[in-house]
Homo-oligomer: A and B are copies of this chain.
Amino acid sequence: MTPTITAFEASPDRGRGLARDMRVRWALEEVGMAYRVRLVSFAGLKAAEHRALNPFGQIPTWEESGEEPGEEPGEEPGGGVSLFETGAIVLRIAELRPGLLPADAAGRARAIAWMFAAVNTVEPPILERATAVLLEGDRPWRDERLALIDARIRVRLDELSRALGEAEWLDGAFSCADIMMVTVLRRLEPSGLLEEFPALCAYIARGEARPAYRRAFADQRAVFEASRAGG
């Protein structure tokens, strides 16, 4: 089974690997799973065809299908599964192939807790910051609000840094939780806030140094370069 994911035809992050397909590409590279990419334009995101995959008109999406010309049908169970939401897609990859989740139930449940913590506790103030800059950057309250939001982000980064302590990864061995957390934290890179937390910078650097991360980054970067060459 070779899954198909979607990604931006022209990523607004200009190839910095901050779009959410990076999370899915990284997980796929970690487990050594080949995949196809279908690029979607901004108009295409809102089209009915894409909304059938993701009702909220976002990338990435995930489609499993083992029955294409030249492929062995039924190579793997679960054909026909289509998904949205990076957390769910990364978890699906971790369940299809070994390497991203502990084998024991307790470790597996804790890794899932950290995945939710990444998107539901650490990311919300980071998203709020992005909104304040991108969608409200021309408003008179911009600077005053950024200071308030940054204070809230610092609280979460401090808590996360203490939880990580001297550890290499969030909970024992590298897992899909680290894929989610590192990519959430990377959205803060332009803010300068991360530099206040050296343990988190080192954690992100460990993630970025993984060969699977590098391959995923190069692949999304190539899409951006091609879109620039074409446009």
Q: Please give, as numbers and ranges, the residues of chain B lying within 8 Å of A140 by CB-CB distance.
A: 141
A85-B106 contact in complex given A55-B159, A131-B128, A156-B56, C-beta closer than 8 Å: no
Q: Does A218 contact B (CB under 8 A)?
A: no
User: A83 touching B131 by the CB < 8 A rule?
Assistant: no
Within 8 A of B (CB), among A46-91: 51, 55-58, 77-78, 80-81, 83-89, 91
The one of B83, B106, B114, B131 in contact with A78, judged by C-beta atoms closer than 8 angstroms, is B106
User: B160 touching A55 by the CB < 8 A rule?
Assistant: yes
Q: Does A92 contact B (CB under 8 A)?
A: yes
- Write the chain B residue with the least CB distance to A140: B141
Chain A facing B: main interface SS? helix
A58-B116 contact in complex given A78-B105, A136-B145, C-beta closer than 8 Å: no
Q: Please give, as numbers and ranges, the residues of chain B lying within 8 Å of A124 by CB-CB distance.
A: 123-124, 127-128
* Interface residue tally for chain A (C-beta within 8 Å): 50
Q: Does A229 contact B (CB under 8 A)?
A: no
Q: Please give, as numbers and ranges, the residues of chain B lying within 8 Å of A148 by CB-CB distance.
A: 135-136
Cα distance, A162 to B52, chains bound together (Å) = 11
Q: Please give, as numbers and ranges, the residues of chain B lying within 8 Å of A123 by CB-CB distance.
A: 120, 124
Q: Does A228 contact B (CB under 8 A)?
A: no
Q: Does A19 contact B (CB under 8 A)?
A: no
Chain A, 102-123, contact with B by CB distance < 8 Å: what is the 0/1 string?
0001100110111111011101
Within 8 A of B (CB), among A141-195: 141, 144-145, 148, 152, 156, 159-160, 162-163
Cα distance, A91 to B91, chains bound together (Å) = 12
Q: Please give, as numbers and ranges, the residues of chain B lying within 8 Å of A127 by CB-CB distance.
A: 124
Question: Shortest Cβ distance from A68 into chain B, in angstroms?
Answer: 18
Cα distance, A28 to B175, chains bound together (Å) = 28
Question: Shortest Cβ distance from A132 into chain B, in angstroms?
Answer: 10
| CB-CB nearest 3 A-B residue pairs | A55-B163, A88-B113, A85-B116
